[in-house]
Structure 1
Amino acid sequence: MKKIGVLAGALLLSMVMYAQNGGYSKGDKLLNIGLGLNSYYSGGIPFGASFEVGITDDISVGANFDYLSHKYKGLGDYKFTALYFGARGSYHFNTLLNIDNEKIDVYAGATLGYRSFSWKDGYSGSGLKSSYGSGVYLGILAGGKYYFSEKIGAFVELGAIGSTNVRIGVAFKF
């Protein structure tokens, strides 16, 4: 997993190094849909989505959602499900870094929301006590997007992003 994180970081860095003007501006509506490349919970493939609206040329706000579920089979069956949902805000570095390429968007942000975690075992059907309790969560991220066309691109995000710390996927701009 460390190799995947290093590869994603290198991709993000190359986006910054070769960028010349920003692919983000006030009023943009941004939708990211992606998969986590790893899981904090030792199983499953995290799925996540975020939606943000540009309120200034540098700041966007919106919401995020993350889902992960996995079933362990063996001596006893165990299943967990983690749901994350909350508010998200991002600072887009295009102006600050003098990025002058409409295909590139470099950003960092934070999320504040609620994590719902459930864990069931096959013997009793009840939830097990776990250190992954439900409650408020705070996340941080750094990301980059490359738009293949005016409205569709790819993104990579690194940080505390729901149930993963590396997410890749498809980016849409409306």
Structure 2
Amino acid sequence: MKKVLSSLLVMTLLLVGTKSFAQYQKGDKFLNAGIGLGAYYGGGVPIGASFEVGVTDEISVGAQVDFYTWGYNYVGYKWRYTFIPVAVRGSYHVNELLNLNNDKLDLYAGLALGYYISSYSDNSGYTGFYDNSYGNRVLFGLHIGGRYFFKPNIGAFAEVGYGVAPLKLGVTFKF
């Protein structure tokens, strides 16, 4: 049964038309700005932006930067972690593959590779391990998302993934 279903899926994908739709095409430029719900390192609410340019009718490349901070303040003692993830990213736009004929929708999946810049501050006067227990590190990200355009160049986006936040929501602009 699994082989039959797998064969049908492969045949369906091979028969998908190559018609080009207007959701995404080579040369398109997208700017996403939004917030993350949850964060993979520490706490806080990530805010950030990404920019991508279409290099083919299915692939876009670009960059992303986010910022989030969280801390503690109790009876005069304060500490704070700050994170600035910076990465390059690439996305594969799947509307053609899925034969979706919707000019307002752009579905995509992709990868990101970058660096987490993190810092720690407190008012204790001590130094040592807690100066920055998170440390700077490599960022490997994965995202699956979609953009829905209310107007030809303005819409909303949502992404689920790994890297900065499990869910990102925001506004998107197409140039």
> TM-score of the superposition, structure 1-length normalised?
0.82
Aligned counterpart, 1:152: 154
Query: Cα RMSD (Å) of the superposition?
Result: 1.7
Q: CA 1:66–1:126 in structure 2 vs 1: closer, same or farther (change >3 Å)?
A: farther
The reply to whether residue 29 of structure 1 matches residue 29 of structure 2 is yes
Aligned counterpart, 2:59: 59
Length, aligned pairs only:
153
> TM-score of the superposition, structure 2-length normalised?
0.81
SS in 1 for 2:70: strand
Aligned counterparts of 1:26 and 1:173: Cα–Cα separation in 2: 12
- The 8 Å contact of residues 25 and 56 in structure 2, kept in 1 or not, is answered as yes
Aligned counterparts of 1:166 and 1:85: Cα–Cα separation in 2: 17
**Aligned residue identity for 1:93:** V
Aligned counterpart, 1:96: 97
Structure 1 residue runs of 4 or more that deviate by more than 6 Å after TM superposition:
none
Displacement of 1:159 in angstroms is 0.6
- The 8 Å contact of residues 32 and 171 in structure 1, kept in 2 or not, is answered as yes
Task: Please tell me whether Structure 1 or Structure 2 has the larger radius of gyration of its CA atoms.
Answer: 2
Aligned counterpart, 1:136: 138
Q: CA 1:143–1:151 in structure 2 vs 1: closer, same or farther (change >3 Å)?
A: same
Q: CA 1:37–1:135 in structure 2 vs 1: closer, same or farther (change >3 Å)?
A: same
Displacement of 1:43 in angstroms is 3.0
- The 8 Å contact of residues 81 and 119 in structure 2, kept in 1 or not, is answered as yes
Displacement of 1:45 in angstroms is 1.5
Gaps of 5+ in 1: 1-20
Q: Deviations over 1:111-164 (max 9, x none)?
A: 0011111112221275725552202211001001100000000000001142x1
**Aligned residue identity for 1:62:** G
Displacement of 1:42 in angstroms is 4.6
Aligned counterparts of 1:125 and 1:46: Cα–Cα separation in 2: 28
Displacement of 1:71 in angstroms is 2.4
Gaps of 5+ in 2: 1-20
- The 8 Å contact of residues 22 and 94 in structure 1, kept in 2 or not, is answered as no
SS in 1 for 2:61: strand
Paired-residue identity, %:
48
Aligned counterpart, 2:83: 82
Range moving further from structure 2, 120-129 or 27-36: 120-129
Q: CA 1:35–1:126 in structure 2 vs 1: closer, same or farther (change >3 Å)?
A: farther
Aligned counterparts of 1:38 and 1:150: Cα–Cα separation in 2: 30
Aligned counterpart, 2:120: 119
Displacement of 1:37 in angstroms is 1.3
Aligned counterparts of 1:137 and 1:40: Cα–Cα separation in 2: 11
